């Protein structure tokens, strides 16, 4: 919800903290009630660095990816590639982002952008970029 309030760096910090402290590969590695796969789905999306807050809206807010690279195979032989440059446990904050080589001006992408294929590149860093997407024009609606 921080992305909607113009403070996406707070989402990035919280998502990374939850993924690294509340999930692991032991039998007790899921926090709380698994809720028929919902918590696992949250982790998978969040580990990619995107999350559909409202799945019906077609909007995915940006968070803090756990992977340096990931690919989502799509229909028609297309691929949507996600890359996190300078990623690591000590670099949870997005410094800048590009979608298909163009500067991303908002803290979200759409389902249609994913389905079109292409590449989302996030440059990560150790400190929050509090100016990135803080204006109303950079927030999801």
User: pLDDT 10s digit of each residue in the chain, 141 long?
Assistant: 899 999 999 999 999 998 898 888 887 777 776 666 667 788 899 999 999 988 899 999 999 999 999 999 999 999 999 999 999 999 999 999 999 999 999 999 999 999 999 999 999 999 999 999 999 999 998
Q: What is the pTM of this model?
A: 0.91
Extents of the domains making up the chain: 3-138
Tell which CATH architecture fits domain 3-138: 2-Layer Sandwich (3.30)
C-alpha–C-alpha distance, residues 68 and 78, integer Å: 20
12-16: which pairs have CB atoms within 8 A and are 24 or more residues apart?
Answer: 12/62, 12/63, 12/64, 12/92, 12/93, 12/94, 12/128, 13/64, 13/92, 13/93, 13/128, 15/46, 15/51, 15/63, 15/64, 16/63, 16/64, 16/66, 16/89, 16/92
pLDDT recorded at residue 29? 77
pLDDT recorded at residue 36? 64
pLDDT recorded at residue 22? 86
């Amino acid at each position: 919800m921080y992305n909607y309030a113009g403070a996406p760096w707070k989402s990035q910090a919280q998502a990374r903290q939850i993924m690294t402290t509340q999930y692991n590969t032991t039998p007790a590695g899921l926090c709380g009630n698994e809720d028929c796969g919902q918590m696992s789905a949250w982790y998978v999306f969040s580990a990619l660095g995107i999350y559909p807050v409202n799945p019906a809206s077609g909007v995915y807010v940006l968070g803090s990816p756990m992977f340096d690279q990931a690919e989502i195979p799509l229909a028609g032989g297309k691929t949507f590639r996600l890359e996190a440059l300078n990623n690591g446990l000590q670099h949870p904050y997005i410094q800048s982002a590009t979608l298909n080589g163009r500067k991303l001006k908002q803290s979200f992408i759409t389902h249609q952008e994913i389905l079109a294929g292409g590449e989302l590149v996030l440059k990560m860093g150790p400190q929050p970029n509090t100016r990135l997407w803080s204006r109303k024009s950079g927030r999801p609606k």
